[in-house]
């Protein structure tokens, strides 16, 4: 595999009105022990100084590329629109790498509201070297609570959406980055169906300066999660179990939002994802017994 011969990678960041956070991310990317061959930052119709910041970065560093969307999409949407923006970033990054003959074995994604430790990508790439069957790997997402960093507890055997790296061969296998309401979750399942392993490298520290879903509101974002789980074919019994877990150990708002979103689509009997391989895999992976095992593993970390 080409990816076993190089540790070079391409990176994409979607950015909408991120003038406050983007400079912090940029500093952490520029200071990485292993820098990306190309970093494409996609300005999604920002109305603040995000575009100016990206322009300044690209002037100072030839490997940082500014790409602006001008389709006048104003609303912030963390679901389907997000997949459109990131997909465009990947298209641009791969084309530039091809045209400029920039070799790469991995392609990754990091959102603008992160600060990465200096050895973040080095740690992720080391895991890919150790395991040739590892297809997608993310770092561990941490938030600052008082003076200490706290891991945002999620299933360590399921890669986070951001920051993550795809092995190039895996990215091709899963058909690239799909337009979907939760493209990262779909990518994880597609990779596993194709025989790739998916992992979260918890000791690769990515600090999220804006906790997951806070921008959109935990309740509304959880409703969207309910939609996604319905479309993917997650059993109702598992949704009830996760809602109970969230309500007891995390947030009642997240639990109620998840239930509302799922039940809303269930009541309307909307069609699910038209991919039997994925929906059958999800039913097994998101079964009650499987989820109980995940919750037990999470409680031990």
Question: Tell me: the pLDDT tens digits for 80-138?
Answer: 789 999 999 999 999 999 999 999 999 999 999 999 999 999 999 999 999 999 999 99
Q: Encoding tokens for residue 157?
A: 């055997």
Cite the beta strand spans of the chain per DSSP E: 9-15, 38-44, 64-69, 106-109, 114-116, 134-145, 148-151, 164-167, 197-208
Count CA atoms closer than 13 A to 253's CA, side-chain side: 7
Average pLDDT over residues 38-53: 97
Q: Which residues contact 125 (CB under 8 A, 6 or more apart)?
A: 7, 9, 34, 106, 165
DSSP H or E segment with residue 194? none
Whether the per-residue pLDDT at 48 is higher than 90: the answer is: yes
- Please state which of the ranges 156-170, 239-253, 256-270 shows the lowest mean pLDDT: 239-253
Measured in whole angstroms, the distance separating CA 290 from the mean position of its chain's CA atoms is 22
Average pLDDT over residues 48-65: 98
The pLDDT value recorded for residue 208 is: 94
Q: Which residues contact 202 (CB under 8 A, 6 or more apart)?
A: 139, 140, 151, 156, 301
Cα–Cα nearest to 260, from 230, 290, 231: 230
CA–CA gap between residue 104 and residue 266 (Å, rounded): 43
Average pLDDT over residues 240-250: 87
The pLDDT value recorded for residue 220 is: 80
The pLDDT value recorded for residue 174 is: 95
pTM confidence score: 0.85
- Please state which of the ranges 37-51, 107-121, 169-183 shows the lowest mean pLDDT: 169-183
Whether the per-residue pLDDT at 211 is higher than 90: the answer is: no
* CB neighbour class for 220 (10 Å; exposed up to 12, middle 13-18, buried from 19): middle
The pLDDT value recorded for residue 136 is: 98
CA R_g for the chain: 19
Tokens 């391989």 belong to: 277
- Please state which of the ranges 3-12, 71-80, 145-154, 164-173 shows the lowest mean pLDDT: 71-80
* CB neighbour class for 226 (10 Å; exposed up to 12, middle 13-18, buried from 19): buried
The pLDDT value recorded for residue 250 is: 81
The pLDDT value recorded for residue 298 is: 62
The pLDDT value recorded for residue 281 is: 83
Average pLDDT, the chain: 90
Question: How much of the chain exceeds pLDDT 90, in percent?
Answer: 63
Average pLDDT over residues 249-268: 91
Distances, alpha carbon 233 to alpha carbons 9, 103, 237, in Å = 33, 38, 11
Q: Encoding tokens for residue 217?
A: 């509101």
């Amino acid at each position: 595999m080409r990816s076993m011969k190089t540790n070079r990678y391409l990176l994409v960041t979607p950015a909408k009105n991120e003038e406050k956070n983007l400079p912090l991310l940029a500093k952490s990317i520029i200071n990485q022990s292993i820098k990306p061959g190309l970093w494409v930052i996609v300005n999604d119709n920002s109305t603040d100084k995000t575009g100016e910041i990206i322009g300044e970065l690209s002037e100072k560093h030839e490997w940082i590329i500014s790409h602006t969307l001008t389709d006048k999409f104003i609303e912030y949407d963390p679901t389907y629109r997000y997949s459109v923006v990131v997909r465009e970033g990947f298209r641009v990054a791969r084309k530039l790498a091809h045209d400029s003959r920039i070799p790469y074995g991995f392609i990754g994604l990091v959102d603008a509201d992160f600060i990465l430790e200096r050895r973040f990508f080095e740690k992720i790439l080391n895991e890919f070297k150790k395991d040739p069957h590892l297809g997608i790997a993310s770092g561990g997402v941490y938030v600052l609570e008082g003076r200490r960093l706290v891991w945002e507890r999620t299933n360590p055997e399921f890669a986070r959406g951001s920051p993550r790296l795809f092995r190039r061969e895996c990215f091709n296998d899963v058909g690239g980055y799909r337009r979907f309401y939760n493209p990262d979750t779909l990518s994880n399942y597609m990779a596993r169906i194709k025989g790739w392993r998916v992992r979260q490298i918890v000791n690769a520290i990515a600090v999220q300066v804006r906790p997951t879903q806070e921008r959109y509101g935990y309740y509304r974002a959880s409703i969207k999660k309910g939609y996604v789980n319905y479309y993917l074919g997650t059993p109702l019994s598992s949704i009830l179990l996760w809602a109970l877990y969230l309500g007891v150990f995390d947030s009642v708002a997240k639990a109620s939002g998840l239930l509302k979103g799922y039940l809303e689509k269930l009541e309307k009997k909307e069609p699910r994802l038209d991919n039997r391989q994925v929906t059958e895999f999800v039913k097994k992976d998101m079964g009650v017994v499987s989820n109980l095992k995940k919750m037990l593993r999470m409680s031990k970390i």
